[in-house]
Amino acid sequence: MPTYSYIAEDPEKGCPACRRGFDLRRPLSRPALESCPLCKQPVKKLISGFNTPKITKPLSVSDAKAAGFTILEKRCDGNYEKL
């Protein structure tokens, strides 16, 4: 039975489950879930391939540095300063 990931279309209105996304096993024969079983808010199916939804957050300077990137910040005098 395939597992589908769903997340609230409007996370502001969702319950704790669908606000963050949840996985549900459903037979292929069943139509796609359209609302959260808990709070009945509309949900959308996430692209399969991810077991848990990942919210992409902007890379912080420290994260980027940890990943080996060199961060350059433009200074007001027009020069780039290595952070």
Among the listed ranges 15-23, 27-35, 57-65, 72-80, the one in contact with Zn ion (CB under 5 A) is 15-23
In the complex with Zn ion, the residue whose CB is nearer, 14 or 21, is: 14
Is position 7 an interface residue for Zn ion (rule: CB under 5 A)? Answer: no
Determine, following the binding rule CB under 5 A, whether residue 15 of this chain makes contact with Zn ion. Answer: yes
Which span sits near Zn ion by CB under 5 A: 32-40, 48-56, 58-66, 69-77?
Answer: 32-40
Q: Please give the backbone phi and psi of residue 65, each rounded to the nearest 5 degrees, phi first.
A: -65, -40
DSSP assignment of 9-65? SSTTTS-HHHHH-EEEE--TTSPPP-B-TTT--BEEEPPTT-SS-----PPPHHHHH
Using CB under 5 A, which of 6, 7, 21, 36 touches Zn ion? 36
> How far apart are the C-alpha atoms of 42 and 48, rounded to whole Å?
18
Residue 14 in the binding site for Zn ion (CB under 5 A): yes
